[in-house]
Structure 1
Amino acid sequence: VEVEVGEPGPGEIRIRHKAVGLNFIDTYQRTGLYPFQMPLQLGMEASGIVEAVGEGVTHLKAGDRAAYASQPPGAYCELRVMPAKCVCKL
């Protein structure tokens, strides 16, 4: 499904993924062993390029290479907005 990804809010970043991890937890989520509410957003880790930062984000800036391996799920996408506190600079 195509969705519009907006601007990051305070404490958030927008990241364009270049690589996305696939791990056993993803298969467990797909089988229902670890239940999630629908619609399910899969993927717990990725790396890419920061496109924009929201107010208050100081450890990252647009153009930085960055990665994460944490909540919230949803790494199976090209572009997303997520909490900056979950993302580290590479």
Structure 2
Amino acid sequence: MVILNDENMENVDRNENLPVSIEAEIPRLSKAEENCHGLKPIEIIGETWCCETIYFLVKLEDGTSALLLPCDVVKNKYPELYENYRKE
């Protein structure tokens, strides 16, 4: 990270636009599923939240692994898991 201040800006034309590049990886469900070697979610076993987002702890079909997935992803891609969890 570079912090711009008067020292390192002395040779820069302040009227010129500086190029900015931001590289960020956005997690996707497909990437999470790849990390689980194709195991499918079978049951919601808990929930938590962070930064105003609810996450479900989802048990995978091998019975020994679990994955945190955002609530919206579970509701849209695995509605049967969401409905079963709400009934409990």
TM-score (norm 2): 0.30
Asked which structure has the greater CA Rg, the reply is: 2
Q: Which is richer in helix?
A: 2
TM-score (norm 1): 0.29
Q: Which is richer in strand?
A: 1
Q: Which has the higher contact order (CA 8 A, sep 6+)?
A: 1
